[in-house]
Amino acid sequence: MAAKRFKSKVDSWIGVLLGAVIVVQVLAIGSAAFQTGDPRTTTAMLLLGVAVVGLMIWLTLATYYVVNRGTLTIVAGPFRWKVPIDEISSVEATRSPLSSPALSLDRLRIRYGKNRRIMISPADKPAFLKAIGHEVVPNG
């Protein structure tokens, strides 16, 4: 079976929030950097700002999930998780705002292994669930 890739669903408010944070970061770091008067400090601050903004953009543009050869690989920018599909014990719908590799609050909580869990937000939930061979169980 060929690898199947699923994009993260993106809530519009999360996109607006991330855009606003990026703009504030650029303005704040840029302003502070040019007020130091020290070229090395200015350069360091600008490089830090570019790194922070770059990471945020990377996380936003590269959050997706791949099902391939019995493994679910979760990618969020530079971060990766590998979940053996045969270790998945349940999949629950959730709207938990806790940090996770998901760009939407319309999430799936995947329980796997020994008391491990991760939340994701595939845009095409039915196809994703079919690919991992699970159904959503009621939570609560």
For the whole model, what pTM was predicted? 0.85
User: Tell me: the pLDDT tens digits for 58-101?
Assistant: 988 999 999 999 999 999 999 999 999 999 999 999 999 999 99
> Where in the chain are the domains?
4-8+62-137, 12-60
Rounded Cα gap, residues 31 and 25, in angstroms: 10
**4-8+62-137 is a CATH 2.60.40 domain:** no
Give me the helices (H) in the chain, please: 12-35, 39-61, 125-132
User: Tell me: the pLDDT tens digits for 35-65?
Assistant: 877 888 888 888 888 898 899 889 889 999 9
